[in-house]
Amino acid sequence: MSGRYDESEKEPEFDWVQLHSEIHAQEYEETTQQKFMRKLKDNPFVPIGCLMTFGALSYGLWSFRKGERQMSQYMMRARVLAQGFTIVALIVGIGIGATRSSK
């Protein structure tokens, strides 16, 4: 052979390369804002719980700084409840997502 390919000899085709390019041609990159909005629509209670937790923590720390011990204790207890709400919302969201994907 002279090192050149004849018409009868073709280069080997790799099916996985073509399959990989077809699969990734259909994908699109999701921006951070689009991902946040999609997740917010899927489970809106998680961000609400996070905001409640942040609010209770912030006001509790502010009350502690001002010397209002009773309000500070109350807000720290509210923070724990808000964290519990957030965790329950996460678990419920995961459960709903798992049942959707199995269907």
Does residue 44 sit in helix, strand or coil?
Answer: coil
Predicted confidence (pLDDT) per residue in 29-85, tens digit: 788 898 888 888 888 899 999 999 999 999 999 999 999 999 999 999 999 999 999
Q: How far apart are CA 90 and CA 99, in angstroms?
A: 14
Whether the per-residue pLDDT at 16 is higher than 70: the answer is: no
Nearest alpha-carbon partner for 73 in 82, 87, 86, 61: 61
Taking the C-alpha atoms of residue 103 and residue 95, their distance in angstroms, rounded to an integer, is 13
pLDDT confidence band for 98 (50 / 70 / 90): confident
Lowest-confidence region among 11-15, 60-64, 90-94: 11-15
Under a CB-based contact definition with an 8 Å cutoff, are residues 84 and 66 in contact? no
CA–CA separation, 45 vs 33, rounded Å? 18
